[in-house]
Amino acid sequence: MPTFYETDSSVYRPGMTWTRTSREILPFSPAALWAPLADFTRWPDWDPDLDRVELHGPAAVGTTGFLVPNGFRGRVHSRVAEPFTITSLIQHGEIAVRQPIPFGALEITLRLTEVGGGTEFVQEVTMGGPLRSVMVTIIGGDVVEHFDVKCARLAELAAAQADHDA
């Protein structure tokens, strides 16, 4: 099955948001990919930029938590960041979180759409606010740059689950 990786060519303009959309076709059903996506504490298993994720209750729209990045950024983030909020949670379809950043927000949306023989996995990352260009430099680029690694790890987790279930 062919796969593809795409990142929108959005350009930062003063007074606007920064958005990047990445997508890849994975050879699994949305249900097979949902387990590692819907379990927020497993996000570091597939996201190379995260050290850990903590939820302040069951995963549901409105639940808050902390995304803790790896390394120095994570140590700083743990001390100064406000919690993220789950803004969308549609079984086998979509997860979205909103993380406050100084004078703005980072929004990450993950979508699963069944396509012939697999699932299109889409990651949309949006930053808004007057300091978005600084925040893009600090975290935004990595979130987009490592999408191919995220897809490979999600595929490994889905394959391992399929082997376990067989």
Q: Which domain holds residue 158?
A: 6-10+18-165
Q: Residue 165's pLDDT band (boundaries 50, 70, 90)?
A: low
Residue 99 is assigned to a structural domain of this protein? yes
Q: Residue 143's pLDDT band (boundaries 50, 70, 90)?
A: low
pLDDT at position 4 is 33
Based on its alpha-carbon atoms, the radius of gyration of the chain, rounded to whole angstroms, reads 16
Question: Domain of 93: which CATH number?
Answer: 3.30.530.20
Number of compact structural domains in the chain? 1
* Contact in structure between 78 and 55 (CB atoms under 8 Å): no
Residue 74 is assigned to a structural domain of this protein? yes
Residue 136 is assigned to a structural domain of this protein? yes
The residue with greater pLDDT, 51 or 74, is 51
pLDDT surpasses 60 at 132: no
pLDDT, mean of residues 121-150: 72
State pTM to two decimals.
Answer: 0.81
Q: In a 3-state reduction of DSSP, which class is residue 135?
A: helix
pLDDT, mean of residues 130-148: 64
How does pLDDT run across 22-42, given as a tens digit for each residue?
A: 999 999 999 999 999 999 999
Selection from 154, 165, 134 nearest residue 34 by Cα? 154
pLDDT at position 39 is 94
Number of H helices, E strands in the chain: 6, 8
Tokens found for residue 77: 């983030």
What type of residue is 95? I
The residue with greater pLDDT, 68 or 75, is 68
Tokens found for residue 94: 């979509």
Residue 1 is assigned to a structural domain of this protein? no
* Contact in structure between 19 and 38 (CB atoms under 8 Å): no
Residue 129 is assigned to a structural domain of this protein? yes
Tokens found for residue 106: 């980072």
